């Protein structure tokens, strides 16, 4: 059975995280992944903190396995959500878009294990120094807000820089990606896009259909021009209009920032193909069918195990 | 010994290609890589066709092993260079920036094996249909002109689409990247940036120093705004100025295209840090020392072999 330090640290069976996707990853999806032996993760970016409390309770009612909450530290509700995570003694928190140093004491005292999502070596080092038990090195092929460096280039550089376990995220859709991540030095993987097609995923059916129909060149990045806000989503009317306005001569950082407001909710909840922003990673083209979340975990793990066991066949 | 179909097809010992880098990859570097058991590749984008002929002759004088020429099909000298490649019966040609269909007959009759570099699944399929013996799937973490999809996401999707061997390029700097590429389904790798530090590489010493000093966040992409010409290079005065002008409100596709003219030669030949464009991939941060090209090949292969042989340790 595939196994690494992160399994011991978190008390999970398989080193497979389900990414915390804003407006998408709820208690039901997280519980399904955790019940299958992975680490299900609820997104705190899904309404207000009352909603977060509710999803944590739903998750706990559906599984007795460890699960996590993903918190974007730049969110207006970050402070409140951080307190909820501590109060509810959530087993694991993954953090994005900032440094979690501020909450390390609060979470440490509550027994919450902290795993920051990092897109560069310097942030991985800072996370380790601050007491994180692992880091998620997220490549720029991921969906949503991304850094600049790809998984293939980022993971080995992060592994060389820290001693804590590194979880690879971005560009991973199946057991091939998982086995590759281990060869790069990672001890686990996180997948977001692949779980969009899960039966337990409550995202709008139109969203699922768009992912299932995607190819290798179906995503695009917005928010590059003025820096610091690059975001990967599926090509559609919204992203085409966004890019047209972003690169127009009269665009300003403010006008670009305004365009994104509410677009993610419109995609995830309403399935609005014209005005919704459908976040997805470059592996959307590899998602081919609706499946139970547990089936996804088992399929990915079995394929990775077979590949790793058989890897020596290449060395004759 | 690490081995795959591409070794049999090309008659090489190790499935390791040295990328054809414009103004950089010459006959001496290619011969050093081929002598070490890999596939050295001369760039045809290095002056005129007389220069290409000369480099092919130099390569032949230094090795009796197979080697290749890389040809950018949109180059003004493409037609002439294609004829030289046929006349000189170069063992392998790798092609970029276009479809090689036009020259398949010429090259086929001369016994030249054709391996297109592709950045998307559709081009891999076209290459296979046109009679290519393999494809190089190049991820967007590569240096120079790039597509949109990363190696981690691109390679498995290309492998699912074609039956011919797939060589992974982009984001590969060591044996970890090579082993990962094999897990993704590739049967070989191509590295460019790693060979910039080779003793036999004639690139300007300042270029080598810049690569050796690079970190994981030292590259940037230019040419995105107007599409079709995205290029990855090291951050320096040139790239900062380029991006400022590219994203300025008065920029046009023509004004942007003009800015790049001659900048690559200024970097590679003159080591001009202010006006030169220093192409490099995201793994520049992993290149730590000057080494002989043969040492690089052996080090990468040995590390990959050890990782692949030991991969089953993860499955307990």
Region A202-219 average pLDDT: 97
CA-based nearest distance A256→chain B, Å: 14
Q: Residue B312 and residue A312: Cβ atoms within 8 Å?
A: yes
The answer to whether residue A123 scores a pLDDT higher than 80 is yes
Q: Looking at this predicted complex, what is its ipTM?
A: 0.96
The pLDDT tens digits of the residues spanning A22-57 come to 999 999 999 999 999 999 999 998 779 999 999 999
Contact A76, A69 (CB under 8 A): no
The pLDDT tens digits of the residues spanning B42-52 come to 999 877 999 99
The answer to whether residue A261 scores a pLDDT higher than 90 is no
User: Which residues of chain B neighbour A240 with C-beta distances below 8 Å?
Assistant: none
Q: Residue A215 and residue B152: Cβ atoms within 8 Å?
A: no
Region A7-34 average pLDDT: 97
Q: How confident is the model at residue B103 (pLDDT cuts 50, 70, 90)?
A: very high
Q: Residue B176 and residue A154: Cβ atoms within 8 Å?
A: no
Q: How confident is the model at residue B204 (pLDDT cuts 50, 70, 90)?
A: very high
CB within 8 Å of chain B, chain A residues 192-231: 215-217, 219-220, 224-225
CA-based nearest distance B119→chain A, Å: 9
The answer to whether residue B98 scores a pLDDT higher than 90 is no
Region B74-102 average pLDDT: 92
Q: Residue A180 and residue B176: Cβ atoms within 8 Å?
A: no
Interface probe with B: pick from A153, A187, A233, A284, most Cβ of B within 10 Å: A153
What's the mean per-residue pLDDT of chain B? Answer: 95
The answer to whether residue B100 scores a pLDDT higher than 80 is no
Q: At what angle do helices B293-309 and B27-35 cross, to 10 degrees?
A: 40
CB within 8 Å of chain B, chain A residues 37-76: none
User: Which residues of chain B neighbour A224 with C-beta distances below 8 Å?
Assistant: 224
For the stretch A174-191, what's the b/e string if a residue is b when 16 or more beta carbons lie within 10 angstroms of its beta carbon? bbbbbbbbbbbbbbbbbb
Phi, psi of A169 (to 5 degrees): -135, 145
Q: How far is CA B73 from CA A250, B27, B70, B116, in A?
A: 36, 20, 9, 10
The pLDDT tens digits of the residues spanning A271-288 come to 999 999 999 999 999 999
- Smallest Cβ distance to B1: which of A179, A307, A315? A315
- Contact status of B121 with chain A (Cβ, < 8 Å): yes
Region A205-213 average pLDDT: 98
Q: How confident is the model at residue B92 (pLDDT cuts 50, 70, 90)?
A: very high
**Domain A7-199+289-306 class, CATH top level:** alpha beta
Q: What is the CATH T-level fold of the domain B5-198+287-309, as seen in this structure?
A: TIM Barrel (3.20.20)
User: Which residues of chain B neighbour A3 with C-beta distances below 8 Å?
Assistant: 314-316
CB within 8 Å of chain B, chain A residues 83-112: none
- Contact status of B27 with chain A (Cβ, < 8 Å): no
The answer to whether residue A169 scores a pLDDT higher than 90 is yes
- Contact status of A150 with chain B (Cβ, < 8 Å): yes
- Contact status of B7 with chain A (Cβ, < 8 Å): no
Q: Where are the domains of chain B?
A: 5-198+287-309, 219-279
- Smallest Cβ distance to A150: which of B141, B158, B225? B141
Residue B223: closest C-alpha in chain A: A225
CA-based nearest distance B166→chain A, Å: 14
The answer to whether residue B99 scores a pLDDT higher than 80 is no
CB within 8 Å of chain A, chain B residues 277-316: 281-283, 285-286, 305, 307-309, 311-312, 314-316
Number of CB pairs, chain A paired with chain B, less than 8 A apart: 187
Show the tokens assigned to B216.
């994981």
- Smallest Cβ distance to A157: which of B2, B285, B314? B285
CA-based nearest distance A259→chain B, Å: 18
Phi, psi of B291 (to 5 degrees): -145, 160
Q: Which among A61, A63, A66, A55 is positioned nearest to A15, based on CA atoms?
A: A66
What's the mean per-residue pLDDT of chain A? Answer: 95
Q: How confident is the model at residue B253 (pLDDT cuts 50, 70, 90)?
A: confident
């Amino acid at each position: 059975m595939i196994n690494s330090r992160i399994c011991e640290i978190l008390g999970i069976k398989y080193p497979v995280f389900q990414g915390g996707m804003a407006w998408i990853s709820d208690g039901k999806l997280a519980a399904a992944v955790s019940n299958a032996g992975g680490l299900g993760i609820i997104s705190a970016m899904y309404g207000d903190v009352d909603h977060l409390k509710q999803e944590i309770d739903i998750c706990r009612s559906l599984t007795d396995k460890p699960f996590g909450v993903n918190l974007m530290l730049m969110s207006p509700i970050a402070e409140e959500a951080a307190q909820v995570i501590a109060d509810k003694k959530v087993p694991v928190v993954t953090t994005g878009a900032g440094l979690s140093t501020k909450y390390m004491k609060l979470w440490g005292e509550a027994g919450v294990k902290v795993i920051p999502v990092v897109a560069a070596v310097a942030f991985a080092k800072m996370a380790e120094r601050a007491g994180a038990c692992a880091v998620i090195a997220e490549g720029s092929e991921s969906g949503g807000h991304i850094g600049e460096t790809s998984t293939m280039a980022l993971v080995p550089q992060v592994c060389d820089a820290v001693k804590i376990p590194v979880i690879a995220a971005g560009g991973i859709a199946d057991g091939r990606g998982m086995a590759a991540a281990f060869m790069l030095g990672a001890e686990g993987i996180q997948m977001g896009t692949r779980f969009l097609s899960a039966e337990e995923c409550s995202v709008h059916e139109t969203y699922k259909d768009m992912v299932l129909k995607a190819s290798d060149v179906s995503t695009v990045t917005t928010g590059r021009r003025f820096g610091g806000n690059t975001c990967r989503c599926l090509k559609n009317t919204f992203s085409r209009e966004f890019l047209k306005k972003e690169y127009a001569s009269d665009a300003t950082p403010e006008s670009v920032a305004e365009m994104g407001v509410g677009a993610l909710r419109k995609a995830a909840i309403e399935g609005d193909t014209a005005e919704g922003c459908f976040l997805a990673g470059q592996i959307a083209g590899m998602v081919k069918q609706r499946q139970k979340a547990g089936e996804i975990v088992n399929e990915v793990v079995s394929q990775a195990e077979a590949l790793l066991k058989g890897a020596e066949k290449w060395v004759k």
